[in-house]
Structure 1
Amino acid sequence: MTRALYVLALAVFAMGTSEFMLAGLVPDIAADVGVPVGTAGLLTSAFALGMVVGAPTMAALTRRLPARATLLGCLVLFALAHVVGAVTPSFAVLFTTRLVAAVADAGFLAVALSTAATLVAPDRKGRAVAVLLSGTTVAMVAGVPAGALLGTATGWRSTFWAVALVCVPATLGIARGIPRARRADHASVHAVDGPSLRTELAALASPRLVLPMVLAALVNTGTFAALTFLAPLVTDVAGLSPWWVAIALVLFGVGSFVGVTVAGRVSDRSPRVVVTVGGVLLLLGWVATAAFAAHAAALLGLVLVQGALGFAVGSTLITRVLYAAARAPSMGGSYATAALNVGAAAGPAVAAATLATGLGEVGPVWVAAAATATALLLAAPLLRVVAPAQAGAAR
């Protein structure tokens, strides 16, 4: 794997830390800005919504620009949004900064995914996605728990400052690690003579592209529904102290790192195995999590397992999106990003609505189970399209 992939992963680490850190900070944010916990949880939906809209928009607006300049611009805007978020006393302003940060994140990730696909052989897109998403999983292993601990010790605003500071070395890494002449080296991504925007948008009419996008969105709906409200599950249902939230996030992050790494080695060759077997186990895991959430040891073990399964299945589906978007070289990354974040926007919003019902803090886990079950029901009769038995069938 080329070093440039790991440079991109470093920047994704900074952004992933921000995207997931609210899972451990929602109660504190709610208390500080004077809103209910469910409302504070919508900050995660705001971020995801910004990425859904921002990914295709930013990709379209910057498709003729050099990748290096786009990546740097998005990362700087992302850092500035966190500075504003760290000082504002207003929930409305904080909500807006999450939208802005998400648009910047979306633009970055869309270009990074498209760029990563050009840095490897045509049949190794799964490996490239795994390296890039490892930045997110490492963020969950190290960045998010560290943010939770920092927030518990010094207040949630300090985590926003920390993310802004992490963006500094990430920016330097992009400036030094991605060549200026990306357009000349990888004309298929940003060249003037590439496919027109209309041609790339027309790719969305293909079931082979749309179906894995829908399934990825559903799987991610479940993952974010449960992850966003993991803190009250750990403290209120399992009865553990707030310090255990960071440990739970570490376990989820370790699991997600293992899941995306294993899937990266398997998804190019046998995507059907990951989607079917992994999907069924993911569903069973959510049901078990809801059933045993009050038992601390069981809950923590299941958090680890669900992190692995959720990211294994999710990253495999995203890889299928990139394969199916081969004829949309500059927009393909945005389609994958949008697929991820439709679910990330819907999950917390639906999960928040369950908190006021009889399901209580376990409601988000049942949302995760329902979303995963829906994905499996859709995938079962369409596996030949979504996940060919052999990778060669997809190209």
Structure 2
Amino acid sequence: MAILWELFPVFVAIYLIECISFVRDGTLLFIPRIFRYLPYLNHAGFGIGAISPSSMTFYSIDSQLLFTSKGFYYPDDEYVAEFPFSPLSRYRFCSYEDIQTLKTEERDLLLNKKVILRTQSPKTSRAIYDSIKQFAARPIPGNDSAFKDSFRRDLLKSRINAVKKNSSILSLTGNTFFVLLFIALPLWFLFNEKLYLPTAVYITYFASIILLWIGGLTAYSVCSKRLYGKTDWMSTLQFVFCPVSICHLTAYFGKYSLLNFNPFTMASVLLPRKDFLAFARKKYAVINAQLRASPPEHLAEILRITKEEYERIAGETGFSLEDLKAVPGNRDRFTKEFCPVCLSEFQRPVKNCPNCTIETEKWDNSLIAHR
């Protein structure tokens, strides 16, 4: 126990740094670099992965679904696209260069086609994909704003409903861990007088926790009412079991898309359309700078799929093969193979990836499982 007493100030310091980061930008991209290398702890229910810029911005895991799911959104005179609608998004990640080089007509082509959405959870992906496929089958009346608003709401509903069905017992384990770490341990120090800190420190610490908890609970109830027309009290009450450390709040919020305090996601639901567009354009320079500062391997490496996969996806989405090939970043991809796990590149098809021993025939499943 003695070591825990000495480590408690470290926990408080980390928590306060996270609070400062949160307040500065409304996102958690300014977290100390040590956390950027822990994106996969979220799979164990510890949620800390959700504060990793790589997991938030590029892997769309338990994080911003709309504008930063792949790190991009389109500033436009008329509207901001709700999602980079690539027919290949289920299989690969779009690079920054791909998006920036799209011409207006090419971008409109992507936006007005059916969507295949991919996340790290196959169940979530399938549920969202089925929902969007039905929705996208309806006629698209050009750039009608009411239609896009409706699409955004339906997309968020499908995301929320899909993730609700995939709750894990590991998440409860992670919640319990952080509750003990950030609430029970400080209380034990306080009442047993094991750590002598000014009373004001304890008051500030617990007051910030209470305010964050109330703020998150309010945000969730408001957003669910905006989406469903009424407050989803059953899901709102689940928030009670969420620990109130900033790092896990972010992960928990992200599981429901609306609750990570991401300014774009929140604004897209809560602000009137005119105000939202102005808000998004104002924030574009900040997000753009953050993307440019991200590790190049998350931006530039795009997975390769076979010509047969292109044709199959083209048939599902209504794209022609030429349409797919015309999108910047897809050119000259018929002569290379990429392992979807380690991203090793080959000039010709191979049976096994020598770096991770994944058989070619299993690459598609491996991509869903590992990425």
TM category (shorter chain) comes to: under 0.3
Could you tell me the TM-score, scaled by structure 2's length?
0.26
Return the TM-score normalized by structure 1. 0.25
